[in-house]
Amino acid sequence: MKLLVTGGAGFIGSNFMLYMLQQHPDYQIVNVDSLTYAGNLENLKSIENHPNYTFSKTDITDAKAVDTLFQQGIDVVVNFAAESHVDRSILEPEVFVKTNVLGTQVLLDAAKKYGVTKYVQVSTDEVYGTLGVTGLFTEETPLTPNSPYSASKAGGDLLVRAYHETFGLPVNITRCSNNYGPYQFPEKLIPLIISRALNDQALPIYGDGLNIRDWLYVEDHCSAIDLVIHNGRIGEVYNIGGNNERTNLHIVKTILQELKKPESLITYVQDRPGHDRRYGIDPTKITQELGWKPKHNFETGIKETIQWYLNNKDWWTRIQSGEYQAYYAKQYAERL
């Protein structure tokens, strides 16, 4: 099987590359990534010489380059490539629409032209908007995105659906909850808090800190996508989540406890505009239909993740420079 995986140098994409080559060493995997600020080939050092792995620095919005890539014969497309950070989408929505909507359309056109056995769109629970205190997102929950990021992801999802309905493209859409684990860029809550706490810096908590996210260890997301590639029913959406709802404050306090740092580092800052209050995934469909089960529970997963960041300080200190620093200064100029 030959897979074209986009965004394979990012957080989930690189974990997925490592996972797939371990699970299916005979599969050929082409990693297509434009290496934005979030793409880091260092994550893939251990497989760079793997005979079944190739990398192409290509932007998915570049239709000509994407067409050329498909000429080698692709069986399955897995689209991870995206602008992924909600706060950035509030500052700069344009690139989100470009990559997450137009980039998806370019990939769909190529998949349609050359014929693939499956196109998998890696999406997010954020397209469903926000929950109140009760209820969970199912695959039937209406799409009501609240941020430019989630709106652009919903736009991509709707195009995927339309290419299935209109052109019969064999597709699946996966919608996963918040991931955590190794190689997550230190702008996202968990690695941001770990890295700042280790440097004894103020820890920015948006609003009252009681917003809830449903956390899943990244490897469990990868195993779910693997199952969807092989057994997902054509045209179906699969929600992915491990029933691990936690408030942001709980996450931050857990990290502080683990690192033996004081809670006085916690600093309440101005809330994120349009901040979704609660996410919670109902994973019944993927559990019952595909037999998916997460391996990691949150209590051990978060400890392993903290340990990974402690063991890989060089990885994130190298990242915390240049463009990221400039973004961070802009992001928190008014908040902290």
Question: Where does residue 191 rank: exposed (0-12), middle (13-18), buried (19+ CB within 10 A)?
Answer: buried
Q: Is 147 one of the binding residues for ligand NAD (CB under 6 A)?
A: no
In the complex, what is the shortest distance from the CB of residue 200 to ligand NAD, in angstroms, rounded to a whole number? Answer: 26
Please say if 42 is a catalytic residue.
no
End-to-end CA distance of the chain: 50
CA dihedral 84, 89, 95, 100 (to 10 degrees): 40
Q: Name every residue whose Cβ is closer than 8 Å to that of residue 209 and which is 6 or more positions away in sequence.
A: 247, 248, 249, 252, 266, 268
- With both helix axes pointing from N to C terminus, report the angle between 248-259 and 298-311 in degrees, rounded to the nearest 10: 50
Q: Is 252 one of the binding residues for ligand NAD (CB under 6 A)?
A: no
Residue 13 contact partner, candidates ligand TDX, ligand NAD, none, CB within 5 to 8 A by sort of partner = ligand NAD
Q: Is 120 one of the binding residues for ligand NAD (CB under 6 A)?
A: no
In the complex, what is the shortest distance from the CB of residue 69 to ligand NAD, in angstroms, rounded to a whole number? Answer: 11
Q: Is 85 one of the binding residues for ligand TDX (CB under 6 A)?
A: yes
The one catalytic residue in 128, 149, 163, 309 is: 149
Q: How many C-beta neighbours within 10 Å does residue 26 have?
A: 7
> Tokens 């490897």 sit at which residue?
219
Residue 211 contact partner, candidates ligand NAD, ligand TDX, none, CB within 5 to 8 A by sort of partner = ligand TDX
CA dihedral 26, 53, 58, 105 (to 10 degrees): 20
Stretch that binds ligand TDX, among 45-53, 84-92, 284-292, 322-330 (CB under 6 A): 84-92
Residue 278 contact partner, candidates ligand NAD, ligand TDX, none, CB within 5 to 8 A by sort of partner = none
Question: Where does residue 320 rank: exposed (0-12), middle (13-18), buried (19+ CB within 10 A)?
Answer: middle
Nearest by Cα to 122 from 160, 163, 68, 69: 160
**Beta-bridge partner residues of 4:** 30, 77
The one catalytic residue in 33, 87, 126, 219 is: 126
Residue 205 contact partner, candidates ligand NAD, ligand TDX, none, CB within 5 to 8 A by sort of partner = ligand TDX
Q: Name every residue whose Cβ is closer than 8 Å to that of residue 296 and which is 6 or more positions away in sequence.
A: 217, 219, 220, 242, 304
Please say if 324 is a catalytic residue.
no
The answer to whether 258 touches 190, Cβ cutoff 8 Å, is no
In the complex, what is the shortest distance from the CB of residue 126 to ligand NAD, in angstroms, rounded to a whole number? Answer: 7
Which H/E stretch holds residue 57? strand 53-57
Q: Which is nearer to ligand NAD, 243 or 265 (CB)?
A: 243
Query: What character string, x for contact with ligand TDX (CB under 6 A) and - otherwise, covers 11-50?
Result: ----------------------------------------
Residue 318 sits at φ, ψ, to 5 deg, of: -60, -35
Give the span between the Cα atoms of 302 and 218, in whole angstroms.
Answer: 11
Stretch that binds ligand TDX, among 54-62, 103-111, 204-212, 214-222 (CB under 6 A): 204-212
Give the span between the Cα atoms of 115 and 133, in whole angstroms.
Answer: 44
In the complex, what is the shortest distance from the CB of residue 124 to ligand TDX, in angstroms, rounded to a whole number? Answer: 3
Q: Is 126 one of the binding residues for ligand TDX (CB under 6 A)?
A: yes
Q: Is 244 one of the binding residues for ligand TDX (CB under 6 A)?
A: no
Q: Is 211 one of the binding residues for ligand TDX (CB under 6 A)?
A: yes
In the complex, what is the shortest distance from the CB of residue 335 to ligand NAD, in angstroms, rounded to a whole number? Answer: 21
Which residues lie near ligand NAD (CB under 6 A)? Answer: 6-7, 9-13, 33-36, 38-39, 59-61, 80-84, 99, 103, 122, 124, 153, 176, 178-179, 185
The catalytic residue positions are 125-126, 149
Which residues lie near ligand TDX (CB under 6 A)? Answer: 84-86, 124, 126, 178, 188-189, 192, 204-206, 211, 213, 248, 272
